[in-house]
């Protein structure tokens, strides 16, 4: 199929983007990598009357740091996430996640910010943003506002970004020394949408390790697994039965108790152990200074 007719606008400044969004509101869509938007337009699942191309705005492609956080511009490509030294140093989880994102052609064009704004419940980057306690930087003619990743995703393909706004960048707190991260998923084929996925962070404090888990491909948005995360606080190495019961508790109000739901529970319980095997090297001393 072909998309409905639309007006194409190539913006070279943020002010131009904001003006177009203010004028057209819900009738406009921002084009970054286009790896999700264009197929949806071809299928008539999305039919904007105005398409605003932001690829000429160089500031949106920058990855930078300050004393406390890493800042990733919305136009950073997936393959740049994989190769950028600042991401490798401060957000190794994102590098691990890229390996599960679609295929090479998609990773060459797709953008970090585009994936977050698309808000597919089975996508890796939204779950990573939630686990990393990221903050979304959103701009419009009204100014810039900050939204925590844990409040950013409202449901399938729905975020906190309003019709006259766009995502500018993602701010990720620098992790403490010794922190480790892991991610794994199960799909029909490598690069397909995840049937179930988990990511984990492990931090050391006063000689004890604390774990935090987030699931994707399970609920209508990334799902914090509080019961599973607390399990390690009570016992150093929980057994498989305890893990399975914790996952069932966390999934109870989000996954139906049908065959598909039972499959997701079983797959997620197995993914716990696979995630732990995939843990990154510890963040080195001084990396977050």
Mean pLDDT of 90-109: 90
- Residue among 207, 62, 198 nearest 130 (CA): 198
Q: What is the largest CA-CA distance in the chain?
A: 61
Mean pLDDT of 257-275: 94
Torsion of CA 62, 67, 69, 74, to 10 degrees: -10
Mean pLDDT of 109-124: 96
Neighbours of 276 (CB within 10 A): 16
Given a cut of 70, whether residue 210 has pLDDT beyond it is yes
Mean pLDDT of 43-66: 96
Mean pLDDT of 144-173: 97
pLDDT band at residue 288 under the 50/70/90 scheme = low
Instruction: Name the percent of the chain lying above pLDDT 90.
Output: 84
pLDDT band at residue 209 under the 50/70/90 scheme = confident
Give me Rg for the CA atoms of the chain. 19
pLDDT, residue 235, reads 61
- Determine which of 59-73, 88-102, 222-236 has the lowest per-residue pLDDT on average: 222-236
Q: What is the mean pLDDT of the chain?
A: 94
pLDDT digits (tens, 9 = 90+) for 72-84: 999 999 999 999 9
Mean pLDDT of 178-195: 92
Given a cut of 70, whether residue 287 has pLDDT beyond it is no
DSSP 58: G
Whether the model clears a pTM of 0.85, i.e. scores above it, the answer is yes
pLDDT, residue 234, reads 65
Mean pLDDT of 231-254: 89
Let me know if 93 is exposed, middle or buried by CB neighbors in 10 A (0-12, 13-18, 19+): buried
Structural domains of the chain, with CATH: 7-53 (3.30.43.10), 58-173 (3.30.465.10), 180-277 (3.30.390.50)
Given a cut of 60, whether residue 289 has pLDDT beyond it is no
């Amino acid at each position: 199929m072909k998309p409905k007719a639309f007006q194409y606008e190539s913006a070279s400044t943020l002010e131009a983007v904001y003006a177009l969004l203010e004028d057209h509101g819900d009738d406009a869509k921002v084009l970054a990598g286009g790896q999700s938007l264009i197929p949806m337009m071809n299928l008539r699942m999305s039919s904007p009357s105005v398409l605003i191309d932001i690829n000429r705005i160089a500031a949106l492609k920058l990855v930078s740091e300050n004393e406390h956080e890493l800042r990733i511009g919305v136009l950073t490509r997936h393959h740049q996430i994989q190769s950028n030294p600042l991401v490798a140093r401060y957000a190794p989880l994102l590098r691990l996640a890229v390996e599960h994102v679609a295929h090479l052609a998609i990773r060459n064009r797709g953008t970090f910010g585009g994936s977050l704004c698309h808000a597919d419940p089975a996508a890796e980057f939204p779950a990573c943003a939630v686990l990393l306690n990221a903050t979304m930087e959103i701009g419009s003619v009204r100014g810039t506002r900050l939204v925590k990743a844990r409040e950013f995703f409202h449901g399938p393909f729905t975020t906190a970004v309003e019709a006259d706004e766009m995502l500018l960048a993602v701010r990720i707190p620098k992790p403490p020394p010794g922190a480790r991260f892991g991610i794994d998923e199960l799909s029909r084929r490598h690069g397909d949408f995840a049937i179930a996925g988990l990511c984990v962070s492990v931090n050391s404090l006063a000689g004890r390790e604390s774990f935090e888990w987030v699931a994707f491909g399970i609920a209508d948005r990334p799902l914090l697994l509080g019961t599973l995360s607390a399990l390690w606080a009570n016992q150093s190495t929980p057994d498989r039965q305890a893990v399975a019961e914790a996952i069932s508790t966390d999934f109870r109000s989000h996954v139906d108790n049908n065959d598909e739901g039972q499959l997701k529970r079983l797959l997620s319980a197995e993914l716990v152990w696979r995630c732990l095997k995939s843990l990154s090297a510890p963040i080195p001393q001084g990396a977050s200074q």
